[in-house]
Structure 1
Amino acid sequence: MRKFLFLTMLASSICFAQDPNLHIYLAYGQSNMSGQATVTSKDKETNPRFLVLRAANHSNQKVGEFYPAAPPMGHSESKVGIVDIFGRTMIENLPDSITVAVANVAIGGQSIDLFDKDRNKAYVQSAKNKGDTWWLKYYDEYGGDLYKRIVEMGKIAKQKGVIKGFLFHQGEADYQMNDWPKRVKKVYEDLIAALELDPEKTPILIGELATTAAGGDLGWRNTAVKEAADLIPNGHLISAAGCPALKEPNYTLHFTRDGYETFGKRYAEKMLELLKAMEPAPDTSKKDSVVVSDSTVKDSVPSDSTNAIRSLPTVRAIHSHEPQLYFDAKEQSLFIRTERKGKVVRYRVTGKAAR
């Protein structure tokens, strides 16, 4: 009976938390972030470890819900771009227990001001006054406020998983804006504040524009892109060197399919490097302070954190070395997960008193 009461007290003392194995990235920008490469049948193949947190209203999917990632990842006419390649590269290089999700809020041809909470309304009104309205249908898919939609997705991300960083690519529309780097920094800082994130743990990856060497019309603006990355303490420049640009009738601003493949992988490589650097050093000073007797539980099996990612949030112990209590929605059972003889095991809580 004592052991049953112990389990009850343990359950009441542990704090419910989001799933730490669900890594979520908030992406925003203009056309290269929404994606311009033609969608192939292979692009439509999904992986349960790569998800889209739907940020736009289309495809009969609900905004704010997670779905297997496949284009369009942003608005309804998005194609394949940075986030598609980024996500697939991430899951190829992370442990099987980790799921990656991306929320993508991007519209082609638009200024950083469209993402600024203090400037966006005036920007939209100015565009309407000029008759520049072709993009408003995508704007409406994002709820009529891009900054607000990013914050909404961020709050959901914090409830369900962990925000690991921001992916950003924008700047072509603002090639004449001298203070563009400062405006980029302001939007990032506003998002960090609104979502109550730790900037030291939440990097922003900022990609270069198609380079002059690749034929890009605005490659000369990459000095400003670097300045933006340098202004933000946790900002990181992603090089576009060697990424082929697409020659179109009136301009060369977008990347080719090969360009996106290289560019998206570079975003992922940098993020993987940052994740590695942020890993805490192993703490061997503490030992498990609680031993759970086999007589109070049944069905000891290897831990399966992947199921927990796509079911209900896990329950995290106060100290990382204590047993962890969590609910597995797939099996509709409560488990205690702990380490025994160097291996992670879990025990099903039955509610039966030990004799």
Structure 2
Amino acid sequence: MLNIALIGCGRIGRMHGALVHAHRDARLAVVHDPVAAAAQALAAETGATVADSAGAVFADPGVDAVIVASVTATHADYIEQAVAAGKPVLCEKPIDLDIRRVEACRTAIAGTDVPVQIGFNRRFDPGHQALRAAVAAGEVGRLVQLLVTSRDPEPPSDEYLLGAGGMIRDMTIHDFDLARYVLGGDEVVEVFAHAGALIDPERGARLDEVDCAMILMRTASGAQVLINNARQAPYGYDQRLEAVGPQGMLQSTNRTPHGLTRFTADATAAGAGYEPFFIERYAQAFRAQLDSFLQTARTGGDAEVGFEDGRRALLLAEAAYASLQQGRAVAVEAAP
């Protein structure tokens, strides 16, 4: 039974805490949040104790591993502290909004064998995993096109957007990682991005933010990758993958609460709406992600989704922003 500490008890932190609390091989031992009431509420639900600081979490000899679900600005610091304390860490994305801080963190933890896992949960979705396995098995022949669709049901609050670091670092970063996952080592070498505030131009101008993006990428082998994002989709949380090759096409489709389809005078092939948002859509993936982290924490070795995956996803985001600024395709700087 692993004793897990959780730093950050907001929406995603509460979800992580509930998953640990329900797991047969783990115990939510300690929680911490700068908002004391949030930590106390989760502790009351799970039986965890409340730490008065993040430092106390890392110094606690009874803590075996740490999940970091705090604000992004703390992620790199907490990764460094977890590694220094010898505690495996699962950290939500992104590692940081500034690639220079990510590089500094990379240097600080270099040469250690403490597992660091980044919270790209979509890699653990059964449909996405099946698509990747089929691509790797050559079912469509050589992969020539990969299409990634990700559209949120509704835009987040102004407060959220002001701290998110831009849609491409906050939202699209999941899609960059998912593309890299499916590509299986065929790294992206060039990025061409289009983005704008097309859903709410007034809000976009006020916050200097975009709400729609199309990002075209080329890999080292010449394969084409298209990511399309939107901050608003009134029909639900839209999450799809499509892989194309000379021998066929593969799709990982949206999930619905049930598979009932209705045929009536008013509608043909009317089905249930998509899952409302990421916690519901990727519930199975979040559980599998935790299983993977606990296994790595017990046995050691490399995490399934490691620090370098987080770094490379942010490098793609940086290339996309450079493309937007320059109005052209740009090379990805991903030197080892």
- Is the shorter-chain TM-score for this pair beyond 0.5, marking a shared fold? no
Q: What is the TM-score normalised by the length of structure 2?
A: 0.31
Please identify the structure whose Cα radius of gyration is greater. Answer: 1
User: When the two structures are superposed, what TM-score results if normalisation uses the length of structure 1?
Assistant: 0.30
Structure with the largest fraction of helix: 2
